[in-house]
Structure 1
Amino acid sequence: MKKFNLRNFKLRRVTVQDLDDRLLLVNLYATQALMLIIGTAWLIFQGQNPISLLAWPDGLQFLYWGAGLAAAALLVNLAAERWMPEEAADDGGVNDRLFRGRPVWHILLISATAALCEEMLFRGAVQHHLGPYWTSIVFAAIHVRYLKHWIPTGLVFLTSYGLGWIYIETGTLWAPIAAHFLIDAAGGLMIRFRRES
């Protein structure tokens, strides 16, 4: 058996451009699975039932809340993109690499996966423990690629706070899941079909 030598171990910085498409997707889905596992475990430790948390609500009222928040968030993001400097919107090329050449069905799958996994963790478990304000700070902090510029970080915080607010107002996790899905899907589709200037 080969002996592992710790002295030969070196860390190096990796950018999104260093990752091939397969590794980028493995990283994305692994992180989402980890969020779902942590969220489910946290819910169980809190004495909540993850299955009942995802019970389908009566009526479609939650969709109006989700679509309304998604529309507001997208309008604010589009306005911010129009007036903020281009370097302030730089996320290191992650979103572009993730969505640019992706088929529409895969953009929708990525958006649905992120919406379900992240909302189970943040709105379902973390918000139950910390409330919407501190949950939004943690949510903005895990979106590390935006932290070097205050405008995108602020927008992520505000979107997260809105997701927490509609969760409180509707009493169902499906409202923030719907909003999160619509925001991510619309953003991904805009990147996918954006014309190069």
Structure 2
Amino acid sequence: MRKQSDIIKQLSDHDLKVQLIISQLVLIFIGFFLSNFLFDSLAMWMDYLTFSIFDVLYYGVIPGILIVLFDLACMYTFPKKHYDDGGINERIFSNLSVGEIFFLTLLISIAEELLFRGVLQTSFGYSVASLLFALVHFRYLQKPVLLVSILFVSFYIGYIFVLTESLLVTIVAHFMVDFILGLVIRFQKRGAKYD
């Protein structure tokens, strides 16, 4: 069986982006499909789409920025080999426009939060959903620093959902992390080309 990194190398940047979009659409489909069986009513989705500007800022934006700062500190503390995901994130984000990064990270945040917090955490609990979220990012499993980082992020965002019971808040927190780190990757790569 070929390694994931070998398969990724054979894909063009466009194909890699398309595969990522398809995988996120599949997660959205799985989330809504499972909710048909696990929710008493599909109207339960509305219970988790509450909006509070305070919660969005205090539990969404600020924690998202704190997670990014933690991640950046780890990236600059540990040797690159401990934080390397096989170059996948770099391949995805380094050649995208800011608008494409915005769209892609918003899609990822919505898809993953709908499934992991909206369906799995509400049905099976905080720990199960947080562990499954980390396991879905299986390319991190062989990298201890990345694994600890994704576990921390997963449990932290899961805890935010426990506090707020709002998917909008966790989507914002998740989006902040992915969007800012996507921009960091893009502009680091661009800066390296001109050095």
Counterpart in the other structure of 1:57 = 51
Counterpart in the other structure of 2:23 = 31
Provide the rounded CA distance (Å) in 1 between the counterparts of 2:56 and 2:73: 26
**RMSD after superposition:** 1.7
Counterpart in the other structure of 1:124 = 118
Structure 1, unmatched stretches of 5+, are: 1-10
Give yes or no for the alignment of 1:73 onto 2:60. Answer: no
Q: TM-score, normalised by structure 1?
A: 0.88
Superposition pairs of residues 1-197 of structure 1, within 5 angstroms: 12-13=2-3, 14-47=6-39, 48-49=41-42, 51-53=45-47, 55-194=49-188, 195-196=191-192
Is the 2:50–2:167 Cα contact (8 Å) retained in structure 1? no
Provide the rounded CA distance (Å) in 2 between the counterparts of 1:15 and 1:148: 17
Provide the rounded CA distance (Å) in 1 between the counterparts of 2:63 and 2:156: 7
> Structure 1: which 4+ aligned runs deviate by more than 6 Å?
none
**1:63-117, CA deviations, whole angstroms, 9 ceiling, x for partnerless residues?**
3211121122111111111111211111011000000011000000000000000
- Alpha-carbon spacing, 1:161–1:12, altered in 2? closer, same or farther (3 Å): closer
How much does 1:157 deviate? Answer: 0.8
**1:44-77, CA deviations, whole angstroms, 9 ceiling, x for partnerless residues?**
2112526415534244422321112112211111
Provide the rounded CA distance (Å) in 2 between the counterparts of 1:59 and 1:12: 47
SS at match of 2:125: helix
**1:116-154, CA deviations, whole angstroms, 9 ceiling, x for partnerless residues?**
000000001111123222222111111122111111111
Amino acid aligned to 1:109: F
Q: TM-score, normalised by structure 2?
A: 0.89
Is the 1:53–1:124 Cα contact (8 Å) retained in structure 2? no
Amino acid aligned to 1:121: L
* Percentage identity across paired residues of the two chains: 30
Paired residues, what number?
A: 187
Provide the rounded CA distance (Å) in 2 between the counterparts of 1:98 and 1:54: 31
Q: Which structure has the larger Rg?
A: 1
Provide the rounded CA distance (Å) in 1 between the counterparts of 2:55 and 2:22: 32
